[in-house]
């Protein structure tokens, strides 16, 4: 890319940022729900905490699942005003509850072909935050642009410490593995999220991948007995009822059965580590098939009412 082309892209992106700020009232959440454009932006890594001498470092991976080649790419970093309550923090993960105090575009060379993934690196000094003198959490929004059009968005918090920490901070993380009961009395899988949750990139699959990272950390892992029983059943092969009422068979070692076996194996690996504190959800949730198999089907209605 020639210097002239790079300046043109930078100018167009700056215009996008300025127009966005002009049209969105200060402090007003964006019309936030992210439109499904077929482009996915995922976090690869982020600096754990930042300060005056510790610039923000972020790696994000963009995947183009459309049939169009995306070019004239840029990643826009937007820093919102600090969040000062838990509710505002939770909202900042899906919307923009505070005013933007900083935005900067990072033009990217090359294009993103259909089916291709690329990793973009962001490095931003944070000297301008030093004058605020606050140790707070700032919400970040990373926006991927293609020809000045927003195609993907990623939100993440940034921990900013105005002064160097003087005491080590002990952190604890709790990972809860659960899913609603989705097998009927006939041991067929009904409609529910479990197949999507255990598929590559799904919620439960992503959690096990994170816990089985290259540098395992101390973690409290809480597992639902119902989920464990359902995964064990699915791993052996199962039948599922489709939305139209038809039944499909998933053999062991394929599709959802293979995904269930992989997640179950990953959980067993995590549970066996000395750095893992394992616990089960209380009351030992009974699955519907087990209730009927135990001859308690005639009491199911009463048990369901009491359980609620």
Q: What are the backbone angles phi and psi of residue 166, rounded to the nearest 5°?
A: -105, -15
8 Å CB contact between 159 and 89: no
Listed by start position, the domains of the chain span 3-160, 174-307
- The Cα–Cα gap between 270 and 174 comes to 13
8 Å CB contact between 114 and 68: yes
DSSP string, 136-148: EEEEEEEEEEETT
Say which CATH class 3-160 falls into: mainly beta
8 Å CB contact between 142 and 64: no
Helix count and strand count (H, E) for the chain: 8, 13
pLDDT tens for the chain, residues 1 to 308? 554 454 454 444 444 444 443 433 333 333 333 456 789 999 999 998 899 889 999 999 999 999 999 999 999 999 999 999 989 999 999 999 999 999 999 999 999 999 999 999 999 999 889 888 888 999 999 999 999 999 999 999 999 988 766 777 777 788 999 888 888 888 899 888 899 999 988 999 999 988 887 677 788 998 888 888 899 999 999 999 988 889 999 999 999 999 999 999 999 888 888 888 888 876 555 566 656 665 656 666 776 676 65
The pTM is what? 0.55
82: its two tokens: 């600090």
């Amino acid at each position: 890319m020639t210097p002239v082309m790079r300046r043109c892209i930078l100018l167009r992106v700056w215009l996008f940022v300025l127009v966005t700020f002009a049209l969105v009232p200060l402090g007003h959440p964006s019309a936030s729900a992210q439109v499904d454009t077929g482009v996915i932006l995922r976090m690869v890594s982020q600096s754990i905490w930042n300060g005056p001498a510790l610039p923000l470092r972020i790696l994000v991976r963009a995947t183009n699942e459309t049939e169009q080649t995306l070019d004239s790419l840029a990643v826009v970093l937007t820093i919102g005003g600090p969040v000062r309550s838990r509710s505002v923090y939770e909202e900042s993960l899906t919307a923009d509850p505070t005013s933007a105090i900083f935005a900067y575009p990072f033009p990217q060379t090359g294009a993103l072909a259909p089916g291709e993934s690329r990793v973009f690196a962001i490095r931003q000094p944070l000297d301008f935050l030093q004058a605020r003198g606050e140790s707070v959490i700032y919400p970040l929004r990373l926006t991927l642009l293609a020809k000045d059009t927003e195609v993907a968005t990623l939100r993440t918090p940034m921990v900013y410490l105005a002064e160097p920490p003087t005491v080590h901070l002990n952190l604890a993380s709790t990972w809860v593995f659960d899913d609603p009961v989705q097998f009927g009395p006939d041991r067929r899988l009904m409609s529910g999220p479990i197949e999507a949750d255990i598929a590559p990139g799904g919620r439960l699959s992503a959690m096990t991948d994170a816990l089985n990272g290259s540098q395992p950390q101390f973690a409290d892992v809480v597992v639902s007995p119902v989920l464990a029983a359902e995964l064990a059943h699915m791993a052996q092969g199962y039948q599922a009822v489709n939305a139209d009422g038809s039944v499909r068979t998933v053999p062991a070692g394929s599709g959802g059965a293979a995904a269930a076996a992989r997640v179950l194996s990953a959980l067993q690996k995590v549970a066996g580590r000395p750095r893992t504190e394992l616990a089960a959800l209380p009351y030992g949730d009974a699955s519907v098939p087990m209730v009927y198999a135990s001859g308690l089907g005639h009491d199911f209605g009463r048990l369901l009412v009491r359980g609620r």
